[in-house]
Structure 1
Amino acid sequence: MSISRTIEELYSSLLFQDKGYITSNKLVLLESPYCFSIDAGFLIHHLTAFYLKSNHKVVLVSFLNCFQHYNTIGLKLGINLASSRIEGNLTFIDCISQNKEDSTVCPLTNEANECSLSNISNCLQKLINKHQDSHHNIPLTILIDDLSSTVLLGISQIQVLDLIFSVRALLQAKLSIESSLCVLATSNGDFESTEGRLVNHLSNESDIILTVEGLPSGFSKEVHGKLIARSKRPSPVIVCYREDWHFKLEDRGVKLFPIGTASGIL
C-alpha cells in the first residue's frame, strides 16, 4: 500500500473527516512565510482544479497574477480554466490589470486603493447574490490569491478582514448549500507585523489551515518543503486535528510523503 498522497486526497480528508460536523461554509487559510525557495501558491492552483472538478462554481480573485498564468498551470493539472470561464463555471476577478474592457477587472492600485477594495467587495456580493438567484443548488467556492498584497499596498488590516468576514457572512446567509472561501496569505514570520497580524486573525477564524514551510536543512532534490494540515471543529467543543507531510513539487502535481519516509530527509 502506498503511503504517499496527493493534495486533493489530503484536502478531501480534511473536508469530510467528521461526518457528524456539518457547516454550510468553510474558511480555508493557505499560508506560508516569505521564502525564495518555496511558497503556498501551488495550493491555489490545486484547490481551483479540485473545486472545478467537484462541479463547484468557482470565483478566483487575484491580487498577484494574470489569468493566463492560472490557465497555463491549470492545464497541467487537467483543467482548462479558459473553457471553464466561457462555460460560466469560473469567474476570474483581476485586481492587477488596468484593462477596463473586462467586466471582472477590479484593479487595486496605490491610488484610491481603499475604494478599489470596496469595489471588489461589491463585485463579490453581486456574484453571490446572482449565484443564489440562478444556481442556488450548486456549491460556490471563492479563492483569493494573495490577500497579503492588500496590506502591502497600505490598506488597513481592519478593512481587509472586514472584506473577508463580510463575504463569508454573505455566503452563510445566502447559500444553504456547501460553499468555501479559500484565502492565500503570506507573512514574514513576525507576528507584530501587519502581514503577521493579518495571518494570525485569519488563522483564528479558519476551519482548515494549510501551512507551507521550507526545509530547515535547505534544498533537497527529493523533498521541497513541509506541509502542515490542520482543521478545527467547533462543536460541541473545539477539536483540532493536524497532519504533517513533506512534499515534492512535480510538473503535473504535488506528491506528499509522511515525515521521515523520503530519502535524505528526517
Structure 2
Amino acid sequence: MFAELNELLNASPQRPEQGKFTLLRDTRTDGSFLVHHFLSFYLRAGCKVCFVALLQSFSHYNIVAQKLGVSLTAAKERGQLVFLEGLASCLDMLFGEEEEEQAGQPRPLRFISESTSDLRALFDFVRTSLAPAAGDAWPGRVLLLDDLGVLLSLGASPVAVLDFIHYCRVAVCSRLQGNVVVLAHGGEDSEDEENELVVTSLCHHSDLILWAEGLATGFCKDVHGQLKIIRRASLQPGGERDVLQTYQYKIQDKNVTFFARGLSAAVL
C-alpha cells in the first residue's frame, strides 16, 4: 500500500472503514496502481478479500504485491484471499470441458457462453466467497474488481452489470458491513456509450471516488498524472456538498508520491 495515499484518505489498516463503496476511475492514464494499493491495504488490515481480477493474471498481481510487502500466495493459502483469475476462467468457458461444473467447480463467468448476460453466477461466487463461516476471525469483508469494463467487453449488458454491482453492494456493504472497490475506465470524451453509462451511474452511488487522469499537457517525466479524491458527502444524512481534492502524483518502483498541483520538486 502507499502511505501517502492513506494520509490523503485519512485511512489506516488498523481501522479500515466499513460499509463503503469506492469507485476507482481513470481517464487517459492507467489507474491500476489504485487497485494494487487497496488490495495490499485490505490484506494488511486482516480483511477477507474476494478479488475478481478480469484484466491480469495472478502472477502479475502477486509480483506487484510483493513489492508492496504482501504475498498473495500466502494470503490464498491461509484462506484470506479468494482470487478469480478472469483470463483463465474465460479460456475454461470457451475451451474447457462442460463436466467441470458438474464435478463441483464453479463457473462464475458462464454468461459468456450463454444467450443472456446474466451475472448471477458471478454474484453467487462473490457471496459464497465472503460468506461468514464457523471459526471465521476475519475482521471485515472486501470485494475488489479489476476492471468492470471487461464484463461489458465479454457481452454483459450495462443493466446486468449495474444489477450485479447493486446486489454486491447490498450483500457486502449492507449485510456484511464490508467494502466494495471497483475499477472502471472511461472519461467524458469516451465513445463507448455503454461503459460511460455504467461509470456515470456508479458515480452517483459511490461513497468515495478516486479519479486518476492523465495530464492535459501530455507526458511528463516527473508528473505522471493527477488524482481527484471525491468524498460523496451528499449521500450522508443532511445533504452536505461533496468534498473534492486534487493532487498530482508520480509513480515510482515501490511507491507513489503525491503533491499539490504545480508543486512537484522537479518544477520547483
Question: What TM-score do the two structures reach when normalised by structure 2?
Answer: 0.83
Instruction: Tell me the equivalent position of 1:30.
Output: 24
Equivalent AA in structure 1 for residue 210 of structure 2? L
Offset, 1:232: 1.4
Offset, 1:154: 2.7
Q: Is residue 66 from structure 1 mapped to residue 67 from structure 2 by the alignment?
A: no
Structure 1 43/103 Cα, relative in aligned 2: closer, same or farther at 3 Å? farther
Bigger shift: 188-197 or 49-58?
Answer: 188-197
Task: Compare relative contact order (CA 8 Å, sep 6+) and give the higher one, 1 or 2.
Answer: 1
Describe the superposition over 1:135-173 as per-residue Cα deviations: whole angstroms up to 9, x where unpaired.
376111110000011112331111101101101111245
Gapped regions of structure 1 (runs ≥ 5): 17-22
Offset, 1:264: 5.5
Instruction: Tell me the equivalent position of 1:187.
Output: 186
Moved segments of 4+, more than 6 Å: none
Quote the Cα distance in structure 1 between the aligned partners of 2:52 and 2:198: 18
Offset, 1:241: 1.2
**RMSD of equivalent CA atoms:** 2.9
Quote the Cα distance in structure 2 between the aligned partners of 1:235 and 1:222: 41
Offset, 1:258: 1.1
Quote the Cα distance in structure 1 between the aligned partners of 2:227 and 2:144: 19
Q: Is residue 45 from structure 1 mapped to residue 36 from structure 2 by the alignment?
A: yes
**The structure with more strand, counted as a fraction of residues:** 1
Equivalent AA in structure 1 for residue 24 of structure 2? L
Gapped regions of structure 2 (runs ≥ 5): none
Instruction: Tell me the equivalent position of 2:230.
Output: 230
Instruction: Tell me the equivalent position of 1:84.
Output: 75
Number of residue pairs matched?
Answer: 252
Equivalent AA in structure 2 for residue 225 of structure 1? G
Structure 1 132/208 Cα, relative in aligned 2: closer, same or farther at 3 Å? farther
Structure 1 14/238 Cα, relative in aligned 2: closer, same or farther at 3 Å? farther
Offset, 1:252: 0.3
Quote the Cα distance in structure 1 between the aligned partners of 2:115 and 2:262: 46
